[in-house]
Structure 1
Amino acid sequence: MKLSHVSVEGCGRFGTPARIEGFGTGVNILSARNEAGKSTLFRAIRTCLFERHSSTAKDIAALATDGLSLPVSIRVGFEHGGRQYEIAKSFLKGKSASLTRDGVEIARNAEADEHVWDLLGIAPRSTRALDEASYGLLWVQQGHSFALPEPSEAAASQLNAVIQQEVGTLVGGERARQLLATVKDELGKYLTDSGRPRVGGALHAAIEETARLTAERLDVDNRLAALDAKLDELGHQRAELRSAGDHAMAAQMKADLEDTRRKLAEAETAGEELKRLRDDERQAHELAEAQEGRLQELKRRAATIDAQRARLKTLAGEIAPLEQEIAAATAALDELARRRKALGDEADALEREERELARLADLAEKRARRAALAGRLDRLQQLRGRAAANEAALKAALVDEAAQKALDALETEEAKLHARLDAGAPRVAIEARPGATVMIDGTAVSGTAAKSVTQPVVITVGDDVAITVSPPQATREAAEAALAAHREKLRALLAACGAADAAELRRLRAERVALEDQARDIRAERNALALGDGVNAEIDRLQAAIGEIDAAAVDEAEADASALDARKQQATERHSALRAALSGVTAQIGAQGDLLGKLREARASLAGQAEQIHAGLASDLALLPDAGRDRMLGDCDSELGRRRDAHRVKAALLAEKQAQAPEDGAVERLRARMDRLAAAMKGQQERLDQLRERIARLEGEVQVAGGDGLGERAATLALQQQMALAEEARIAERVEVLKLLRRTVEESYAQRREQLNAPLRRHLKPFLHDVFPRAEIELGENFAIAGLSRSGPAAELFGRLSLGTQEQVAVLVRLAMGAMICERGADVPIILDDALVFSDDDRIEQMFDAINRAGRNQQVIVLTCRARSFTSLGGTQLQIV
């Protein structure tokens, strides 16, 4: 496959159509700045070739252009087998796919998806990941050029198949990999990747069954031992119950509890009295403090009233000058408004005059365009006639794409019927020795010959022997019946399409395709004419426009254009002057309005302050009027003295009672002793209840356990356990055999690895020596690069190389893999997106030599943002248009 062009729309930064054409053989280079969309085009090519058009994967959604509700539309053209193909897909919205060959559509939608994969040698699947087989190795996206190629399963199979064409089938080749995969699949039925038994597998089930029987047998044995233990425990519990029932000790504990309760009640009564006295003292203190707060509040309110009256006098003096300034500003603003209205009326009159002049000029211009409108009308009328004729011819052509597909399907079915008949028929194999005369249906046989017996076969040996071999009658009749039914379907299809044979049907289909091409040309011509409402509507519009021009008054239509222009110029100049004057007046009105607003705002602020002060003053005077101020202050001070005397009396009484109260902690000690005695009596009773309950439970368990037949159950479980162990051992032995087979195949694979790697090493050598003369690559498992041998005694590990050298080696390995695949007939282009970013000037020139060496035999496409550095690469220069 060789790419020829690609176009995108609604894809990443390409919200409008963009295209790259002119891909050539050999090296192709696309140089563009950062964020020009190179990587987007790379992802678009992969998506178009390898994704189903109906997919909604996250990678496809990420391709959509931000902010635009457009489908992701991609077209990729390529050459394959000497034919030109184009695959066009629309993702996310308006999902569709179309595949054309040499300009003729050959498949649509899902059929187009899978037809492309057939061409590229990729087996179709219901779900698909990008970059199958060799494309995943040779198409390197941005940022991945540093990593060594890690072939997927499909890519590894293709590489091994290519190698086997050169070195033959080996133990370490694709057949060994397939055998190893089969053994691993079989082993996977029993074990996980970590070597543990797989849940749901036979080995896991056998182990689980053995464990279950072992646990059940252990449970029965434990139950037998537990029965004996419970009998011993029952005797101990009965003896403990007899010793725990001491009545004298219980009576003493009850007397101590009653005495403690009496003493606690006396102590609590004294504490309640002391608490009441404390509350009275605290209340008296709070009343005195509250009265002192009210006295201070009255004094503060009197000072506030005096300050508010002084502030009101100051505000009255500030508001008077503002009233005069507001009146002057209002008069000036009214005068400016009258001037603006006069200027506006004059501007309206000039606008009406300009519109009339524009109407006259437009009418004159239409007169000048009448010939062009008449020519467009004639072209549209011809287009409508051709479209009507094409539509009638299409209705008469009956052979559509469905009929063509039905014919192809019937011919394929007939071939399959013949193939099945041949495959199911007996075969006659003959070996004729030198000198013998043997013939099959009159044809001489020399050496060996074989023939399927779908019809009677006559074998003659010399002139004396004739052998007739006939197929089974039932098989032959069934095959003939199937072929007859198939031929009847073919005759029905030909009759429905009005064709005598398959060739005529295909000819009729070709004629319809030509009519469809003509219809597309007509639609393209209609689109080029930008007919938004259709041909008929545009014809009607043109006829109406021409009629309007013809019907216009002659004196208006033929007015002097220069005079109209002069009048329009004068009106425009006057209008401009009026607009300038009007703008100046409007600016003055705005400035005067701002000044008036500020004055009013200042007056409102002062008035608001005065209003707030009046409201506060009225509230304060309501609580402290001037007439009663001295009396209220005196009464409040006298009440404060009385409340302080009451507090001193209650404080003395509290001190006296505190001296007579019990010592601190006495109540808590009595309460703790009472709780201790109560808990001890309760614990003793609970212990007796528990002993009685435990004895009853043990007696019941002993009675139940004695009737379960535990001994017989234990014997049965022992036998079942032996059988389960035998089954587990049998499965485990099979697992060990499979593990031994896997190990043997892996060891053989490792022994023949060097012979497998030889073809890749041979193809890699010239590319490697272009950059690293006399160097050698060490290859490991699955074509992995183990190290690079240069001038030193030992190989350098790949991970220890510099980033630039790692990237260069990774690119060279991909070039070698591409050369090896291409040499064996699989023509896959190589695509490098922004590679060789850490190469110095000398090394990058050597890499250019290697890339051009690859371009001698296959297509190489390089995407880069370093136009100056890649100038000397050469090859075909590409551009995004």
Structure 2
Amino acid sequence: MYLKSLAVSEFASLAEARLEALDPGLNVVVGDNEAGKSTLLKALRAAFFQKHRGRGETVEAFLPYCGEGRPSVSIAFSHGGADYRLSKSFLTRPAAELLGPWPSPVSGDAVEEKLAELFGFVHPGRGDSKLAEHQGAFGLLWVEQGRSNGGLDIGAGRDAVTASLEGEVGTILGGERGRSLIAAAKALNDRHFTATGRTAANAPLKAIDDELTRAREDLVGRRAALAELEEKLKRLEDRRRALKGYEEAATLEKAEEALRSAEAAMRRAEDHDREWQAAESAVRQAEAVRTGAAEALKRRDDLVKAVEAARTAFERAAADHAEIDAAARLAVEAVTAAAQAQEEARKALKAAEDRHESHRRRADLSRAVAERDRLSAVVAEAGDLTERIAALAAHRDLLPIDQKSLAAVEKAERRRRDCEVRLQVAAPAVTFEPEADGAVQREDGQAVAAGVPTRVTSRSRYLLGGFGAVTIEPGGGAANLESELREAEAALAALLKGGGAASGDEARRLFAERQDVEAELKLVSARRDALVSDGLDAAKARLRAAEAAADRLNAAIGGEGSKGAAEAEAEATAGESGDDEALAESLVAALNKARRATATADERLRAASKESEAAALRRAAAESDRSHLEAQALRLRSECEGAEAAAPRTTLVDRLAEADADLEAKRGRLALKERERVGDGREAAEARQKAAERTLRQIGRTLQELRDETIGLEAEVRVSGGSGLGETVQLLEEEIADLERRRARTALEASAARLLYETLGEARRAARERWLGPIKTRVAPYLRLIHPESDIDLDEETLELKGLTRAGVAERFERLSAGAREQVAVVTRLALAQVLKQGGHPAAVILDDALVNTDEIRLERMHQVLREAAKDLQVIVLTCRERDFRDLGAPTFRL
């Protein structure tokens, strides 16, 4: 179908309009704002889809603005190789007539039925015709103003597009039976997994895992309790050593210097990594493919190893059965010896603890005094830095030029320069050189200087003495350009005034000064945060706590009567002598040795008792273990043979080799891009800066955490103890073994359900990709012109635009810019129009101000798209911006 002519009279804002001899390809209809372009499209829709006898609110809006008249529309068009002429009048003496390839005209209500039959749409039972429900493919192809960037809004046009697609590729695979099968597979999969592929909260496997976790945690807790005290002692020693290492190495000061160096490197490296990032992305993708291939091969090898391990376990279980009797007899003798050793170790431990506790109180006071003095220095320095931060922030606030306002000033400067250049090109410079006493003056009598170029920006008439007059009319819209230049200069002046700058150079100088202030502010803030990462108030609170702790320890030691509080603090401040340190070390060593001896004796007694009690149970369990391991070996062997039959290991090896080759090639390209970069890359510099910032913060936190943990561990060590294992450990082990067997069976069932669902889903996606193929094939050449290396993403069910994939990155349609949305929607409509035409459906495309958000470069490419589409389709562009479509090379009609 294509429109040949259109005549409208007394229709809303249009008193009369005619478009004659429309081209079957590309057409441009130009009119100023409110000239009636959108009304023209509304009249066209009314002629085809609105019943001429209608009386609703929509039809009442057809009346001219004066409230009187007979809205009328007359259209000549071609469809299916035949010519037609349609005439409709509304409200006053409503009438309808359709001339076509039949003997006599069709008139009245029969015209509505004939149009619906001809174009495959339906009239509403009652009320007005609605775009998305009753106008078929025209709702998709005739785009009203403001709808171009909101998606396709395909509505009732989906049926026509679907019919055309089925004519090309057949109906989509599966049908109701396929959907039922996928639904059943999904239900089975959902029993085990969530939509994101994680194990479902109520899945059988999750329940078993929870039981396993509980049992294992119970078993681990009982075993861990035996070694808890020794571990705490070791950790306490490690924390004290770590604190000393931080202080001796000046780690905090080095971290601050590293941060300053990283910030300088970051400023040098920001422009060196764009191409490298693309190569890195390709390597990551290849690594993912290679990882998948390697994991598949590893799973096969692991299965083979599991078969061998099961056989070995079975043989070992048979051998263990013979050793159990001998072990039981030895266990009884070990219990008696361990009980005697335990009693001796506990006596030695009590004596060592008494000696160590007396010495520890003095050491605590020494550490508390040192911590109080350190925190006092930190609070003083942090206070000075806080005052410096306030001064820098006040200075920064006095510099109003920021990044955004500077960008606005530079943009205004570019606009002014562009206007000046365009005005110089469009407005001619005229120099009058009269002879002798000749004179030149303007038409208004103003004299014109001789020999001085005069810029002519509008139609001007000059009187030449002794000759006559000359009229000069510049082209290219010089008057408008002069007005634009004045506007640009005014806008630039306003921006400079708002930023407190007299010129663009001064604005840049103020911005540079602001950047220097902000850099210093950031550095000082980082130094303060490194000192007091949680704030000055918190540091003061810690100082007060440290002072209180030192006072408490002074009071406690003073209360013992051996020394006064003042003497104790003086001794703590002066530090311990070498003899005290040696004594402390010897006391700690003696205490640790006694504790280890006691723990070892306790452990030996518990172990001997447990071994004696469990010997009989192990004897009974040995035969059961041997039978179970024999069955497990047979099952794993069968599973391995099945996997090899499904996919031989050589195939998996070949896949891994292919992935390795591809990865190596892409790594080579990444290495090449890496060598092309100058100096350090931006990511490395940024990572280095962030790492330095994290390191600085982490060192501060670590020092505090080490101190806090040391205090906590010392308190825990004094009151720590252990819990016994009990007789339930053996029962827990048997329960865990049974749960692991149940979990293996359930995991196999879940994997089978997931494989079935994913396989059916892949088959369904492949069928739907074939279903959308004709649309994407027709969109591709258009899309390459405006967005290279991109592809559209359509909803398989609704055919609505879901998004755009560019360079492998998917973007949702609603998150694209307004310009990108309207460009993608227009080229997709053109592709759908070609699909509709191929299926025998009407396919004329009308765009009402559809490219208002498109920049000049992409507008030129959209011109190419429209020209290409117009080779097969009629495309009518309604616009108020004639200059945007002046170079389109299409017939132009003016309202």
Q: Is the shorter-chain TM-score for this pair beyond 0.5, marking a shared fold?
A: no
Q: TM-score under structure 2 normalisation?
A: 0.33
Q: TM-score, normalised by structure 1?
A: 0.34
